[in-house]
């Protein structure tokens, strides 16, 4: 649910990075934070356990530039991926404008990927969102590892609808900004459609 | 998309700003800010120069969301008021009209009792302004007014330029 402020001429949107535990959601945000100009980013907040597993959420506010005189800001969130944090994941999804599903390409994590994407669909539906209708892209992370599932199989299992998808190695930044640009673009296009539709 | 996007116009923003400034003065508070339940900062006033209000807004919304989750598990609709006591500063958080969060940060120059009293009054005023805002948004949607909409003339090139 975006916030359009005509008074300060700002558009604010919320993007959530979702996926199973240790798939690279926080790593995506950390890379974005590291490589973004200090003028374009706020502080990154990470509510995590002592072992650096996300406990509640990570948050990173980004300024992407101006569009027709309106400053566009995106609030990036990650959810905790471990299965037992489902209650928290539901809360973080509230008011989402776009979702990035980060999949762990390792063969032993395929079941977790599938479980997580179904969990995403369910949690969105509980809030009245339809995963097939909101801005949504898939990132296949950890493509550098030796034990990865082929891209074709990953697409078949996780992206049957053929939404935009990107290969990534979040640890070294490969695919991270491509993913971010893609979801931001989809969100703005959706906002434009929404406003035109009335 | 569930619900409507939050829209703020200049006229209503001025009213909101005036009310939170009034609350700041009457409650002897340090900072007053309004946050959307999704974590977007709507307005802030007071000693905000060295305060990361963006992060505070997001964390406040997370706080309300978490305690809201706890409330539901206990059979409550929500906990509409939260109070956090610190060594130097305290935070009073309240929900207005089911969608907006009002946060008051105060120190020893004020008291919880005074803040609660003043917040109660401001909540009515702010609730009224947001109701008015919602009606205005619905009306303008209905009449198809899009002259000032930033999306009215957005092209694909505009969006591409955003990403360099």
pTM, full prediction: 0.90
> The domain containing residue A9 runs over which residues?
3-190
- Chain-centre distance for alpha carbon B1: 21
Nearest C-alpha of chain B: how many angstroms from A95? 6
- Rounded distance, CA B125 to CA A105, Å? 53
Say if A195 falls within a structural domain: no
The pLDDT of residue A196 = 64
CATH number at B104 reads 3.30.450.30
- Look at chain A and report how many structural domains it folds into: 1
Say if A196 falls within a structural domain: no
Instruction: Please give the radius of gyration of chain A, using alpha carbons only, rounded to the nearest integer.
Output: 16
Say if A197 falls within a structural domain: no
Q: What is the pLDDT of residues A119-162, one digit of tens each?
A: 999 999 998 999 999 999 999 999 999 999 999 999 999 999 99
- ipTM metric: 0.83
Q: Which residues of A touch B153 (CB under 8 A)?
A: 68
Q: What is the pLDDT of residues B26-71, one digit of tens each?
A: 999 999 999 998 899 999 999 999 899 999 999 999 999 999 989 9
Say if B5 falls within a structural domain: no
Say if A127 falls within a structural domain: yes
Say if B144 falls within a structural domain: yes
Q: Which residues of B touch A64 (CB under 8 A)?
A: 162-163
Q: pLDDT band for position B143 (50/70/90)?
A: low
Give the containing element (helix H, strand E) for A167.
Answer: strand A165-167
- Rounded distance, CA B20 to CA A196, Å? 33
Say if A99 falls within a structural domain: yes
Say if A103 falls within a structural domain: yes
Alpha carbon separation from A72 to A3, A8, A188, B58 (Å, rounded): 10, 11, 9, 17
**A124-131 CB contacts, 8 Å cutoff, 24+ apart:** A124/A93, A124/A96, A124/A99, A126/A90, A127/A90, A127/A93, A127/A94, A127/B2, A128/B2, A128/B3, A129/A93, A129/A96, A129/B1, A129/B2, A131/A99
Q: Which residues of B touch A94 (CB under 8 A)?
A: 37-38, 65
Say if B4 falls within a structural domain: no
Nearest C-alpha of chain A: how many angstroms from B101? 15
CATH number at A31 reads 3.40.50.300
- Look at chain B and report how many structural domains it folds into: 1
Say if A198 falls within a structural domain: no
Q: pLDDT band for position B141 (50/70/90)?
A: low
- Rounded distance, CA A112 to CA A118, Å? 10
Say if A153 falls within a structural domain: yes
Say if B2 falls within a structural domain: no
Q: What is the pLDDT of residues A58-97, one digit of tens each?
A: 999 999 888 888 899 999 999 998 888 888 899 899 999 9
Q: What is the pLDDT of residues A168-192, one digit of tens each?
A: 999 999 999 999 999 999 998 888 8
Interface of A with B in 21-80 (CB under 8 A): 42-43, 45, 47, 56-57, 59, 61, 64-70, 72, 75
Q: pLDDT band for position B75 (50/70/90)?
A: very high
> The domain containing residue B125 runs over which residues?
10-162
């Amino acid at each position: 649910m975006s916030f359009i402020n005509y008074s300060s001429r700002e558009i604010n949107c919320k993007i959530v990075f979702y996926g199973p535990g240790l798939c690279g959601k926080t790593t995506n945000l950390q890379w974005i934070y590291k490589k973004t100009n200090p003028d374009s980013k706020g502080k990154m907040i990470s509510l995590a356990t002592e072992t650096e597993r996300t406990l509640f959420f990570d948050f990173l506010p980004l300024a992407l530039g101006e569009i027709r005189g309106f400053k566009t800001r995106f609030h990036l969130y990650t959810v905790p991926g471990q299965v037992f944090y489902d209650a928290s994941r539901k809360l973080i999804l509230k008011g989402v404008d776009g979702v990035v599903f980060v999949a762990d390409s390792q063969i032993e994590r395929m079941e977790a990927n599938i479980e997580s994407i179904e969990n995403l669909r369910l949690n969105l539906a509980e809030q009245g969102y339809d995963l097939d209708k909101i801005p949504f892209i898939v990132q296949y992370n950890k493509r550098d590892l030796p034990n990865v599932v082929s891209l074709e199989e990953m697409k078949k299992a996780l992206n049957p609808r053929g939404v935009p998808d990107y290969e990534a190695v979040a640890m070294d930044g490969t695919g991270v900004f491509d993913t971010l640009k893609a979801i931001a673009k989809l969100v703005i296009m959706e906002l434009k459609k929404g406003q035109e539709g009335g | 998309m569930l619900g409507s996007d939050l829209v703020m116009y200049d006229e209503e923003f001025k009213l909101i700003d005036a009310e939170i400034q009034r609350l700041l003065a009457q409650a002897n508070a340090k900072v007053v800010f309004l946050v959307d339940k999704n974590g977007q900062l709507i307005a802030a006033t007071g000693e905000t120069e060295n305060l990361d209000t963006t992060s505070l807004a997001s964390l406040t919304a997370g706080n309300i969301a978490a305690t809201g989750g706890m409330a539901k598990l206990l059979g409550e609709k929500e906990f509409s008021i939260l109070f956090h006591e610190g060594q130097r500063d305290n935070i009073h958080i309240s929900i207005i009209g089911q969608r907006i969060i009002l946060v008051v940060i105060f120190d020893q120059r004020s008291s919880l009792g005074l803040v609660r009293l003043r917040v109660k009054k401001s909540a009515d005023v702010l609730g009224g302004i947001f109701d008015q805002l919602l009606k205005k948004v619905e009306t303008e949607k209905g009449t198809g007014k899009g002259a000032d909409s930033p999306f009215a003339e957005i092209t694909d090139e505009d969006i591409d330029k955003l990403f360099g």
